[in-house]
Amino acid sequence: MQEHLKFYINGEWVDPVTPKTIDVINPATEETFAKISGGSKADVDKAVAAARAAFPKFSQTSKAERVELLKKILTVYQKRVEDIAQACSSEMGAPIGLARSAQAGAGMGHLAATLKSLEEMEFEQQRGSSRIIREAIGVVGLITPWNWPLNQIAAKVAPAIAAGCTMILKPSEVAPITGVLFAEVMHEAGVPPGVFNLVNGDGPSVGQVLAEHPGVDMMSFTGSTRAGIIVAKAAADTVKRVSQELGGKSPNILLPDADFETAVARGVYACFNNSGQSCNAPTRMLVPADKMEEVLAIAKATAEKHTVGDPTKDATMMGPVVSEVQFKKIQGLIEEGIKEGAKMITGGPGRPEGLDRGYFVRPTIFGNVSNDMIIAREEIFGPVLSILPYDTEEEAIAIANDTVYGLSASVESKDADHALRVGRRIRAGQVRMTATAWDSFAPFGGYKQSGNGREFADWGIHDFLEVKAIVGYEGTANL
């Protein structure tokens, strides 16, 4: 049994003010494998005080100093990649191959992208008789989710460091061990005391307290739209900036000229990646009505190639979903799809054959879905794909936009210019074109109820900066 019962505050591992433990469950075994401490307002107060004390000096460090610090963090992170991957696999069920390449790899990618962006960024410019200065916003509260823990920790911590901010991180209490390991990375890299602080705990006891705290200047939150609304309301009384990356119900439009054999398979894999637990998963596949039967056959064959099981085995493609709560929610929504009359193509309720414990979900595909069905409107956050027909391109675009979300979308076509024209009309923060690789330098964030603000590389750094105008200065100092 692992025990991680201390918080990282002011450069030291410290005991919680009031001891309280939280069990961390391995979703593949349903057994407790670790314990963490749950924080309180008193712990948040200590962390905020440390961050505020560190801010005046750290905010005045030079860009060169922060570049060197990020380089050290990246170097230490690279040494700990296997530890991070193993922890990620245990705490949220990611297959170990995915945990190494994508989960731990995403953190490394964001550190590297932020480092490169910081090296190229200018924080001052002269505009006529005014000096425009971009400077650190202050003390920031960071709340990160369980589904891509290192992706979101690195995508917030790295740009906050680059901007000159000090911070308090609250990882998800469902998958907190990777956050503890990240704190160890920060300590070994020599991050100055108080610049980075970690307080574990649940949303009401730590997250909401951070959002309400008058000593916190900004909140950066990734999670559900429901929780994001709570954070925004809690932050409103102190008029702090709130940056949010929230839910999604992303459309994947296959235009009539797409290569359906490859496009459908690619869409299925993208939807089921990470057991479907990605806010930008393309969970609504929109296909020409006259291609529906062909698409369903390809999708069924692709889904049934997915090996579901023990995440410690290299051959496993899909592990469990993260918790009993998520498992029950997904099962309920699959049942809802059946009741609403969607055509079950493969999968369905219950665990995959041969698995009688663990929060494993059968890779599930529904065909002939209409966009008013619950399975087409709610974020399921599991390996469930809805395939919807359309008759015209205009109808496809209308269906794609008929959602409260606007985080991501995909367009498949052999004609890149055609895909671009369609992509321009989709109300989403990111539109991925045919076979596009992940881009850590592209802005990531949503329209509508998918949030506000943008993350990754220089876009993320700008989120943590304030803009100051010094009017009447016409010199050239430091330019």
List, by residue number, the catalytic residues.
Answer: 245, 279
Counted residue by residue, the chain has a size of: 479
Separation CA 111–CA 78 (nearest Å): 10
Burial of 371-380, coded b for 16+ CB within 10 Å and e otherwise, reads: bebebbbebb
Q: For residues 479 and 279, is the Cβ–Cβ distance under 8 A?
A: no
SS3 282: coil
Give me 294's structure tokens.
């062909």
Q: For residues 458 and 445, is the Cβ–Cβ distance under 8 A?
A: no
Separation CA 371–CA 151 (nearest Å): 31
Separation CA 228–CA 203 (nearest Å): 11
Geometric angle at alpha carbon 141, from 139 and 144, rounded to 5°: 150
Separation CA 382–CA 271 (nearest Å): 9
Q: For residues 311 and 275, is the Cβ–Cβ distance under 8 A?
A: no
Query: Strand 405-406 relative to strand 447-448: parallel, antiparallel, unpaired?
Result: antiparallel
Separation CA 143–CA 416 (nearest Å): 37
Torsions phi, psi for 172 (to 5 deg): -60, 135
Geometric angle at alpha carbon 317, from 311 and 322, rounded to 5°: 50
Q: For residues 35 and 2, is the Cβ–Cβ distance under 8 A?
A: yes
Separation CA 255–CA 252 (nearest Å): 10
